[in-house]
Amino acid sequence: MEMLDLFLQTFSSVSLLGTIMILLLFYLVSTFSFTSQEDKKEPPGPRPLPLLGNLLQLDLKRPYETLLKFSKKYGSVFTIYMGPKKVVVLAGYKTVKEALVNHAEEFGERAEMQIMKDVSQGHGVLWSNGESWKEMRRFALTNLRDYGMGKKACEDKICEESQQLTEVFKKFKGTSFDMTQPINYAVSNIICSMVYGSRFEYDDPEFTSLVDRTNKYTLLVGSPSIQVYNQFPWIGRWIANRKLFHKLYEANKKMNLELVRRLKETLNPQMCRGFVDAFLVRKQHLEKSEITNSHFHNENLLMTVIQLFGAGTETTSTTIRWGLLFMTKYPKIQDQVQEELSRVIGSRQVQVEDRKNLPFTDAVIHETQRLANISPMSLPHKTSQDVTFQGYFIKKGTTVYPLLTSVLYDESEWEKPYSFYPAHFLDKDGKFVKRDAFLPFSAGRRICLGESLARMELFIFFTTLLQHFRFTPPPGVSEDELDLTAHMGLSLSPSPHKLCAVPCM
């Protein structure tokens, strides 16, 4: 009914004749697309309606849950129609791995959401394809590593930032507060130091507005109205969330242009401070060489910076928030983590090399990533060519959803897929074990380029906070009353909540 109400509200602003003509047009297009390729075996799926496809059958607040149910009925490779757009869904660990790893080339392109296409125009590293994507991803990986990703220099920055975050938490003196902003600021400062070459203070208004706007528009991306807009761009003028998204995004774009301008004015090619400097130096070199078809241009710089900033902030900070919420919800597990930290580390600063001596804590962090499931549908892929996969024909250019929630909750891979169960990652002797079906960063050509950075951040921030604080519910709220309902945005985040960070004596 929610979906139907949304369409009725939209169509109330359009003339009856115009509506009928549009419906007729989409009916003809949809009928053709639904009946074409009948001579080839395509993935099965629920019967679509003209124009709407299967949208009325989806819970737009949690579409991944509907897709998971469909996979039980139609199998690990099935078709749905998001409005008139055909989408193939891949479900289960074996199927997702086979597609993204064994058929990496065929399933390796990115399908753009309309709302992201509006702003990125195919530039940057996240929503691009072809040679531009290859160049930007290769350059981003190389330079993020050069500026510390996965190295001791980066570890030192994360340790310092974790101490800064600890001081912020102490100011609340054990009273309940929303931890979203300080965690966002701490995590964001790590990617800022790599991209811009410097960190920011938590009370810097430019920095805080940049982070807060990023958090707001990533939440908007998952709203039901934006999901409908992605399928029917022509209704954009009536979508309030689309207008708000563009307003927030343009403000961040303007601020990034100013940050890049400042860095350009003080650029020293012999002493690059971060990714932006390295990009500007490469761009100048290519311009001097009179290379005219370079992908190192201003649009790619701006979009890559915005995307690195957003991805480097939102996903890791969201996972940390889930981790603290789980510790509060399950105090006995928090007891075990803190006992291990006290026994192995004591009061000194945790280092990455300590991970091997903290198997239970490591298992808890991995289980947080698995159960939090922050990217349940991954980002949409697209087939680069016609492909026959598991006996089904999938046409070139088809949007593909690797349903990561079906991997992380795969009942054939996990003993207790819907429970917080750190033993998933421990053997009978209590030693940490890797699990093949642990794919929170996706896999294949489009695997998260910041995986090593995120793993380091999660470990150091989480352990440092658990060393210093006992996390409890607000006064008058029991652990059982804590809400674990996820809020759908570009990723799954906890519903708004407050916790107490009680200093450990």
Contact of 394 with 383, CB cutoff 8 Å: yes
Complete DSSP assignment for 291-357 = --S-S-SHHHHHHHHHHHHHHHHHHHHHHHHHHHHHHHH-HHHHHHHHHHHHHHTTTSPP-GGGGGG
Q: Which of 219, 209, 200, 221 is nearest to 252 (CA)?
A: 209
**180-195 and 298-329 helices, crossing angle to 10°:** 140
What element of type H or E holds 500?
strand 499-503
Neighbours of 345 (CB within 10 A): 18
Q: Shortest CA distance to 188 belongs to which of 160, 210, 163?
A: 210
Residues with Cβ within 8 Å of residue 39, at least 6 apart in sequence: none
The DSSP H or E segment spanning 263 is: helix 240-265
Residue showing tokens 């999901």: 227
Residue identified by tokens 């020293």 is 268
HSE, CB side, 13 Å, CA atoms: give it for residue 310: 27
CA distance 495 to 204: 26
500 assigned binding-site residue: no
Cα 39–Cα 44–Cα 48 angle in degrees, nearest 5: 100
- Residue ranges for the known binding site for heme are 448
- Residue ranges for the known binding site are 448
